[in-house]
């Protein structure tokens, strides 16, 4: 690899040797040769990204394709498919070449985005739920410069189940008897629905009293070992900078949730999926499963995607 590094530095013509199919550089390093393909397969992503970073430091901006020696250029395109994807993976601005943003500007924007995302994380901790753009209107408008959707921001902020387990739930000590009774009502509703109830499925006064005592609806459910129903792709179509947004759709078919009070047949069906995972190392596809079993799981779990979601806890223990 050091030899290729030196070759790339030696020639100012970044296409040198690309057309010389009988030349040493082509024969040793081109993806069109067996030896070159074998060499490429030994190169880790970090090495290719470092090539981009080094050139960016040299130019003070993201390098264009033509500014990278052709062997590295081919390897980077082969590995990352598109040049902007590679630049993004390297932490560089996607606009390359002399007309692109300076490295200083890119780093300033990355730092600003990081700070804005941290504000979203802090709001999620305060609310004990995924915040909506309307909860942070000014932040949302600023984030519109950097992200495609609020869903992307939520993903970049790492606001997921683990986040809420770490920052948003806790055991409430010394609950009064009346609240213990209310929690039993919530638990009974969950067993009836075979999932955690939506907050709106309870009378307003009832739920508000519980939330005030437990801190949040999420933490209310936590007291009885439940997690809220969640959308599969929260806010993926919610634009940034628009506080109004659409109201949440409460359709369990488009959500993930733990099935409460599984019957014996469902437990047996899920165990079959789990055994397939243990044997193959991958979650089974619909077409791999006997139709009647698949239909039973779709009915008992609400959807095929949610049936697979039931396996996550067991898989996580492996």
Residue 24 pLDDT level (bands cut at 50, 70, 90):
very high
Q: Which residues are registered as beta bridge partners of 255?
A: 231
Q: What pLDDT is recorded for position 55?
A: 93
Does position 34 have pLDDT exceeding 70, yes or no?
Answer: yes
pLDDT at 309: 93
Convert the pLDDT of each residue in 43-55 to its tens digit: 999 999 999 999 9
> Which whole number is the average pLDDT over 223-241?
86
Average pLDDT over residues 8-19: 92
- pLDDT > 60? residue 248: no
- The count of domains in the chain is 3
Total residue count of the chain as it appears in this document: 318
User: Which pair of tokens denotes residue 1?
Assistant: 């690899």
Q: Is residue 71 domain-shared with residue 16, that is, in the same domain?
A: yes
Are 66 and 21 part of one and the same domain?
yes
Q: What is the pLDDT of residue 317?
A: 61
Do 80 and 152 share a domain, yes or no? no
Helix segments in the chain, DSSP class H:
2-10, 24-29, 34-40, 45-59, 70-80, 83-89, 103-127, 137-143, 150-156, 161-167, 177-193, 204-214, 217-222, 264-280, 291-301, 304-309, 312-317
Residue range 5-16: mean pLDDT, rounded: 91
| Residue pLDDT, tens place only, 143-158 | 999 988 999 999 999 9
pLDDT score of 37:
96
Confidence of residue 281 (pLDDT cuts 50, 70, 90): confident
For the residues of 268-296, what is the DSSP string, one character each?
HHHHHHHHHHHHHSSPPPGGGS-HHHHHH
Assigned domain for 248 exists:
no
Of the pLDDT bands very low, low, confident and very high (cuts 50, 70, 90), residue 314 is confident
Domain-embedded: residue 185: no
Are 52 and 19 within one domain? yes
Does a structural domain hold residue 71? Answer: yes
Using pLDDT thresholds of 50, 70 and 90, give the confidence band for residue 236.
Answer: confident
pLDDT at position 72: 96
76 and 115 assigned to the same domain: no
Residues 6+ apart with CB under 8 A from 310: 258, 259, 270, 301
What is the domain extent for residue 269?
A: 262-317
Task: Tell me if 273 sits within 8 A of 308, measured CB to CB.
Answer: yes
User: Strand, helix or coil at 231?
Assistant: strand
315 pLDDT exceeds 90? no
Q: How far apart are CA 199 and CA 211, in angstroms?
A: 10
The verdict on 76 and 111 lying in the same domain is no
Look at residue 137 and tell me if it is in a domain.
Answer: yes
Given 152, 167, 182, the domain boundary residue is: 167
Average pLDDT over the chain, rounded to an integer = 91
């Amino acid at each position: 690899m050091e030899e290729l590094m030196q070759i790339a530095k030696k020639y100012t013509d970044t296409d040198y040797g690309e057309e010389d199919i009988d030349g040493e550089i082509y024969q040793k390093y081109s993806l069109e040769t067996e030896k070159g393909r074998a060499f490429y397969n030994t190169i880790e992503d970090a090495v290719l990204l470092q090539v981009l970073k080094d050139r960016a430091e040299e130019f003070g901006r993201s390098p264009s394709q033509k500014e990278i020696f052709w062997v590295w250029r081919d390897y980077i395109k082969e590995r990352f498919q598109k040049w902007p994807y590679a630049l993004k993976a390297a932490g560089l601005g996607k606009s390359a070449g002399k007309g692109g943003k300076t490295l200083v500007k890119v780093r300033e924007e990355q730092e600003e985005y990081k700070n804005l995302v941290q504000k979203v994380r802090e709001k999620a901790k305060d609310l004990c739920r995924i915040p909506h753009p309307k909860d942070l209107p000014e932040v949302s408008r600023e984030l519109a410069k950097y992200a495609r959707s609020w869903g992307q921001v939520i993903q970049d902020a790492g606001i997921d189940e683990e986040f809420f387990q770490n920052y948003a739930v806790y055991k409430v000590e010394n609950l009064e008897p009346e609240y213990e009774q209310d929690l039993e009502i919530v638990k009974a509703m969950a067993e009836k629905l075979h999932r955690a109830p939506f907050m709106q499925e309870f009378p307003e006064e009832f739920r508000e009293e519980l939330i005030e005592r437990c801190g949040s609806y999420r933490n209310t459910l936590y007291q009885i070992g439940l997690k809220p129903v969640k959308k599969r792709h929260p806010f993926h179509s919610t634009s940034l900078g628009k506080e109004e947004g659409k109201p949440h759709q409460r359709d369990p078919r488009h959500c993930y949730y733990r099935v409460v009070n599984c019957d014996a047949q469902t437990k047996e069906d899920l165990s079959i999926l789990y055994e397939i995972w243990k044997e193959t190392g991958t979650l089974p596809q619909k077409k791999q499963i006997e139709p009647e079993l698949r239909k039973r799981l779709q009915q008992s779990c609400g959807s095929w995607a949610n049936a697979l979601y039931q396996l996550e806890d067991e898989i996580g223990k492996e």
